[in-house]
Structure 1
């Protein structure tokens, strides 16, 4: 007998299951769309069922509906789906409405040129950080990430910076969800997050020296948006063989913290 995979704790429906105004069908459709990533851009119904924990019959109805709406396109050769062009205007409009990107972009480019490292701006998406702006150095070697990329919140410099600036209530929610999503690694993740809170308060930045990916070293810093819509975080990092931990701590981290404070000033958040 087949055993259906339990749904991930990182779903909108799980977060709001007691909200009577919440429309579960929309949440399931969003979970399905989020299952597509840069690394897994073509998925079939069985793969989508495994990734979302939804019954295959439900997935089949959702993919059919989303295809009719222009959100998915079907590839007959593979009997699988990919995200369709109908989603592009929504994504472009969402990015255009984020004025913080326009404030941050010139400073990000300057920081990237100074450090010869990748610089990204992102916000929280579930238990991940979603890149909304990205600058790569003009070198042959750079981190293979771009706008729309997701990185784990609990282990990355960007995610740790976000956590450090988040409210106590949001941190408690994140603790519960991160612990449920990866019980075995949670003690290590928890210790890193607690350290990040103290480090961000003292130095204005956090680090991830190979904790997420042993080949990547990065610093992160975060701040609250002026309109009260949440927290954004920025990272600056490079392959470990180009940037060692000492340089992250002594040079890149302080420079990143200064850039983030400058963005706060420009956004009307000077302290």
Structure 2
């Protein structure tokens, strides 16, 4: 059983325009349309390459990385050589493929090991998981995905969701994504929805409707939900988290749909998830 997870790194397109694959072009910083922010393309491409490696795909070759990231092949080759030299990737001549090296692990550990938000979140999430017999997930946004930061499960729930830190969920097609979009400033949300529209093509009308419904739910009651819609056996409820000086977060509760019908969500689980999110926000502020 699995949610619609998204392995690998999001392509740089359409968030940026690769343009001609020349050194001078790569060294140039580009302005992201409508964002008011400048993107340094070599850095963005290197991070996209590192993000492509997952537990399901620990070894990747040049062509696989080209397909996964949308970066031109000559650029991928140059970036790979640099990342190996810097110690972020290991190259196997026998496999003719690359995998993440220890330097990347140290970066990830530094990012999360001392996060007071996640330390507080673990206790709040485990308490909620035990009380609701559900799987609880904390996530944040990475481009057009929600990336999982933390998970807690209730043992009797026995849900094998294969969600772990670093798992990606499409922001357009998951309640966690809808809750995240609802938490973003209007201009940023508008920019992201434009990118989603360009990437999804014929899926867009349906996704636009569900995204709008999810955002409206969050604005009206503080959470959004999906009951057996994306996975017949699963019900998902998600609520945004607002903590100053942190990127927006989202808290989600996942359980078997047989145990989590609409009436129970509206009467019990939805309000409790919103209360848990508010409690986490208050505790995180207190411990700053």
TM-score bucket (shorter structure): 0.7 to 0.9
Distance 1:251 1:21 in 2: 45
Partner of 1:127: 144
1:39-84 Cα shifts (integer Å, max 9, x gaps)? 3222110110111222222212211221121111123342211111
Residues 10-89 of structure 1: matches in 2 within 5 Å?
A: 11=15, 17-18=30-31, 22-89=39-106
Question: Partners in 2 of 1:243 and 1:37 — Cα distance?
Answer: 31
1:154 corresponds in structure 2 to 172
Deviates further, 118-127 or 204-213: 204-213
Equivalent in the alignment of 2:119: 102
Any idea what the Cα deviations from partners look like across 1:1-58, whole Å, max 9, x if unmatched?
Answer: xxxxxx65365677x7326964211111111112222332221101101112222222
Q: Provide structure 2 residue ranges, at least 5 long, that are not aligned to the other structure.
A: 1-10, 19-28
Q: Please state whether the residue corresponding to 1:131 is helix, strand or coil.
A: strand
Post-superposition Cα deviations, 1:92-122, rounded to whole Å, max 9, x if no partner, equal 1111353211222111000111122111111
Give 1:170-185 correspondences, 5 Å limit.
Answer: 170-185=188-203
Superimposed CA distance per residue, residues 121-172 of structure 1 (whole angstroms, 9 cap, x where no aligned partner):
1110001111112112224433210111111111212111111121111110
- State the match for 1:111 in structure 2: 128
Match of 1:166 in 2: 184
Higher mean alpha-carbon deviation, 24-33 vs 204-213, is at 204-213
Q: In structure 2, what is the Cα distance between the partners aligned to 1:241 and 1:42?
A: 39
Runs of 5+ unmatched residues, structure 1: 1-6
The size of the alignment, in residue pairs, is: 261
* 1:176-212 Cα deviation digits (max 9, x unpaired): 0110110211111111121112211222111123444
- Which residue is 1:260 aligned to? 277
2:268 aligns with one of 251, 265, 271: 251
Q: Which moved more, 1:117-126 or 1:230-239?
A: 230-239
Q: CA offsets per residue over residues 207-246 of structure 1, 9 Å max, x none?
A: 123444444321000022222x331111110344554455
Normalization by structure 1: what TM-score? 0.86
The answer as to whether partners of 1:8 and 1:181 remain within 8 angstroms in 2 is no
1:209 alignment partner, one of 217, 224, 227: 227
Residues 12 and 101 of structure 1: CA distance in aligned 2, closer, same or farther (over 3 Å): farther
